[in-house]
Amino acid sequence: MASARGPILGPGSFRTSEVEMSSITKTIRLSGQAADSIEDAVRTVLARAASTISDIQGFRIVEVGGNVDDSGVPTSFSVTLDITFGIKDNVEHG
């Protein structure tokens, strides 16, 4: 069976004499906030992360919160995200 990245290799098998991209990912935790909505807070964190990290593959919302004024009206929304991205080191097998 082959995927868009090439054949799927079984356990214990590897390509020899070929350089391929690592399939290793890294996940970091970032937090941020926005005044208007949870969605804006998510977009803010992801945009900031994308300015220094490439190959972002996904995110997971870990925590949602916010602040309210004396009458209970939300004044800001905060999120904590786990952001996963690919590691770009070339790996040579063989």
β-partners of residue 3 are 6
pTM score over 0.75? no
Phi–psi pair at 38, nearest 5 degrees: -60, -45
Position 93 scores a pLDDT of 60
Residue 94: what pLDDT?
A: 60
For residue 33, what pLDDT is reported?
98
Strands (DSSP E) along the chain, which ranges? 2-3, 6-7, 18-21, 25-34, 56-68, 74-86, 90-93
DSSP SS3 for 48:
helix
Residues of the chain with pLDDT under 70: 1-22, 89-94
pLDDT at 88: 79
CATH architecture of 35-88: 2-Layer Sandwich (3.30)
Q: Identify the pLDDT of residue 74.
A: 96
Domain residue limits, the chain: 35-88
Picking from 12, 32, 8, 28, the residue whose alpha carbon sits closest to that of residue 20 is: 8
